[in-house]
Structure 1
């Protein structure tokens, strides 16, 4: 770990288990700072997930009477690397690689010759190392073993530089190095006061970003027993100890009284004892017994269990419980869909979260990957110079995603100092009208020409007009008839404010 945590003039650590009021303390601190003369723009509040940030923003506005920015480190880091200075520093386009695009990057990575299992394990090692900031401020990679390891890492970095994308595990690490290298960018990004909730759920690099952003004070809330990967890759529980070590005069507030039910307080106390032997015991306010807080229902079969869940929801609504206060947590998306159907049969509407990955089809078959092609086409319509989208677009329809031909193009890019889009344009201009049939570069040129024609045909369009043009008409298009509209309907997220990324549903009411 080559980069040490940056200390802050004033540091506060609020530590406690679930339900002990850590977030409430952060909200109270924000209100006190505003009452003491700080402006809302002086404060930045960081949460572990987008949902948590939205909820925290609402609590802050209610308590402070002013809008205080609450967001995630990922959004801050993306904003920094999307600036002109950030793009120049990273040599990237300032955007994350999507799951669909990652499939093409993996095909390009397979040209290294490693077996898939070995390659994936090596990539996990790279990703974790990035999040833990093993490279120094200059990005030196002397932590790699010479030979295979260094070669594969170099290939990955070369592919990312060639396509301009950023992988999530390297995002905060790039932002840290950028802020350390550019004092003007750091000064412009800093806030007087930074408050961080669920600090232990952030990666080490994200924790460093949060600390760098704090000019005068930083307050973090953490539960060392709750290190869970919910949004950041490789959450870093040890960061709580690093925080107190870097900030020698850190004020430490330990909360031991849980406002959750007695059973939850007891469970939290056991978790903390496992994570940190000797930690203070968590007690419940009023010491409510578990029987007053939980009801167990035994069912003979899965169908009866689903029906029992729907019955319990109906009973809660009938007793006057607000729909927005009812959540149904399930262990699998298929089970969630069964619960949704059971609720619908009782005339109870529910908002299901968007699942983590869209069903985009098989990119090897043009007829089966229309959703993925649509996503790439929309990216290109928005930005015809999007190298990562062109890499995807020109890989559809080939079993190996034309990875060998793209490997040759990367070598040419290194020799000529040209980018992917410039090389595609050069190859298209040099090729005859009929292209180069039955060759990798020929397939790429054909795809690029068709994509360029499609992009030209939809310039200036938006909304339904854009979708109609992509879905049919003369020239290249995606799908037939209403196929594109159906794809969009299936891929569209739910209502604003609904949970994203979890497995469960929120009751909306009748």
Structure 2
């Protein structure tokens, strides 16, 4: 049975371009719910990214006061992993409920290479599987009849076998698996649901995450969306088409369109000029320069070091003028630039933080001397849980050019035949 979007008694869609106040509208909507008697713990707020969730949480605290402390503000991915990691969720999926890290994904990929496919073909096929998972191509029972018999179905079966053996959950399948779990377990759905669900940047969520959000809403659901701002940031394969699906599922949906822009006019002027220079043959809408305020300044520097110093000067001046540190954000085009800016600020005694980018544990796992951090993290995982099958698989793959993938293929087959877990089989049967 195909999975349909769950309707909600009252559905609200807030539309508008970037900077039109959609998030502010949602915050005011939550404040109105609380004033009308809604319990804070019965309100679930979902954001597209962890950073956005933190910002929403701060804004709710400023608007709603102490009541905001009991409002859950998070991302659909974390809701999904919480559901899948509970006892009932683990029993449903046969997995641990934990999303594999980039380090662990390297070993999973090595296990997938035993399929014999060339790397490029394998990666493209995996992308197809991942997108299909996020778009809920599998029905409520998880049937794989959408796959073409032969190579495609065989590779998909191998991937599922590897994941089942290690207990890992991949990010693209987490929300979809959580949706199927809730549809199969009415008691868990009743316990996890909230009377009021609010979703910001709806178009940046995958279709599965959108379905998860709607499934959790009992009385009202309010979403803010801008189809033109659909980009992959945190969820794999964001689904802008979900906006239309939302209005179709909720026939009496209240649609609110915001048209007044609150963006910095000076920044709009500068962006308009840059676009006109980049696209000289296209007609670019004019921006009213008279409306520009003196809040946008372009700084020209002659070297990267001078650029870092200029950024640090600007931040230092803003703080000296009384700007709250939490209100200062520095955007960089590359993680390396971000790290250098953080360093330049710290040299001046300005505390700065930056989201973790890339792998926490870097290094080539084929070379024991170059993957010490990765081996340490894996060893700690085994100390925490000696039955962690994925950690065992990684630990036994360090130092081998193919991460012992052929040996683990045999071990996985033997473990399945004997009804054993991969961790138990790893200890019971020495690897060749």
Same fold (TM over 0.5): yes
C-alpha distance in structure 2 between counterparts of 1:160 and 1:345, whole Å: 45
User: CA contact under 8 A between 2:46 and 2:200: conserved in structure 1?
Assistant: yes
What corresponds to 1:18 in structure 2? 18
What corresponds to 1:367 in structure 2? 369
Which range moved further: 96-105 or 56-65? 56-65
User: CA contact under 8 A between 2:269 and 2:289: conserved in structure 1?
Assistant: no
Shift, 1:339, TM fit: 2.8
What is the TM-score of this pair, normalised by structure 2? 0.91
What corresponds to 1:380 in structure 2? 382
What corresponds to 1:77 in structure 2? 80
Which range moved further: 152-161 or 80-89? 80-89
Shift, 1:355, TM fit: 2.0
What corresponds to 1:60 in structure 2? 60
Shift, 1:90, TM fit: 0.7
Q: 1:335 aligns with which of 334, 337, 362?
A: 337
Q: 1:98 aligns with which of 90, 98, 101?
A: 101
What corresponds to 1:438 in structure 2? none
Shift, 1:40, TM fit: 1.2
Q: 1:121 aligns with which of 120, 124, 131?
A: 124
Shift, 1:267, TM fit: 9.4
User: CA contact under 8 A between 1:45 and 1:195: conserved in structure 2?
Assistant: yes
Shift, 1:346, TM fit: 4.2
Matched, 1:199 2:202: yes
Q: 1:410 aligns with which of 409, 412, 421?
A: 412
Matched, 1:174 2:177: yes
Q: Say which SS state the counterpart of residue 222 (structure 2) adopts.
A: strand
Shift, 1:357, TM fit: 1.7
User: CA contact under 8 A between 2:387 and 2:424: conserved in structure 1?
Assistant: no
What corresponds to 1:221 in structure 2? 224
Q: Please list every run of at least 4 consecutive aligned residues from structure 1 whose deviation after the TM superposition is greater than 4 angstroms.
A: 263-269, 344-347
User: CA contact under 8 A between 1:261 and 1:289: conserved in structure 2?
Assistant: no
User: CA contact under 8 A between 1:257 and 1:283: conserved in structure 2?
Assistant: no
C-alpha distance in structure 2 between counterparts of 1:265 and 1:238, whole Å: 28
Which range moved further: 145-154 or 59-68? 59-68
What corresponds to 1:254 in structure 2? 257
What corresponds to 1:392 in structure 2? 394
Deviations 1:240-271 (A, max 9, x none): 111011100000010111222225567999xx
Distance 1:134 1:165, change over 3 A: same
Shift, 1:344, TM fit: 4.3
Show the 5 A alignment for 1:241-320.
241-263=244-266, 289-290=291-292, 292-320=294-322
C-alpha distance in structure 2 between counterparts of 1:122 and 1:254, whole Å: 39
Q: Say which SS state the counterpart of residue 217 (structure 1) adopts.
A: strand
Shift, 1:101, TM fit: 0.6
User: CA contact under 8 A between 2:264 and 2:293: conserved in structure 1?
Assistant: no
Matched, 1:28 2:31: no
Unpaired stretches in structure 2, ≥5 consecutive residues: 273-284
What corresponds to 2:278 in structure 1? none
What is the TM-score of this pair, normalised by structure 1? 0.77
Alignment length (residue pairs): 418
Shift, 1:21, TM fit: 1.6
User: CA contact under 8 A between 1:310 and 1:342: conserved in structure 2?
Assistant: yes
Shift, 1:153, TM fit: 0.6
Deviations 1:35-89 (A, max 9, x none): 2222112111111112221221232233223021111111111111111111111
Shift, 1:92, TM fit: 0.5
User: CA contact under 8 A between 1:258 and 1:265: conserved in structure 2?
Assistant: no
What corresponds to 1:322 in structure 2? 324
Distance 1:80 1:15, change over 3 A: same
Deviations 1:357-409 (A, max 9, x none): 22421111222211111111111111111111111111111111110010001
User: CA contact under 8 A between 1:190 and 1:214: conserved in structure 2?
Assistant: yes
Shift, 1:17, TM fit: 1.9
User: CA contact under 8 A between 1:15 and 1:255: conserved in structure 2?
Assistant: yes
User: CA contact under 8 A between 1:18 and 1:268: conserved in structure 2?
Assistant: no
C-alpha distance in structure 1 between counterparts of 2:18 and 2:290, whole Å: 15
Shift, 1:167, TM fit: 0.1
Q: Say which SS state the counterpart of residue 360 (structure 2) adopts.
A: coil
Shift, 1:292, TM fit: 2.4
Distance 1:320 1:59, change over 3 A: closer
Between the two structures, name the one with larger relative contact order (CA 8 Å, sep ≥ 6): 2
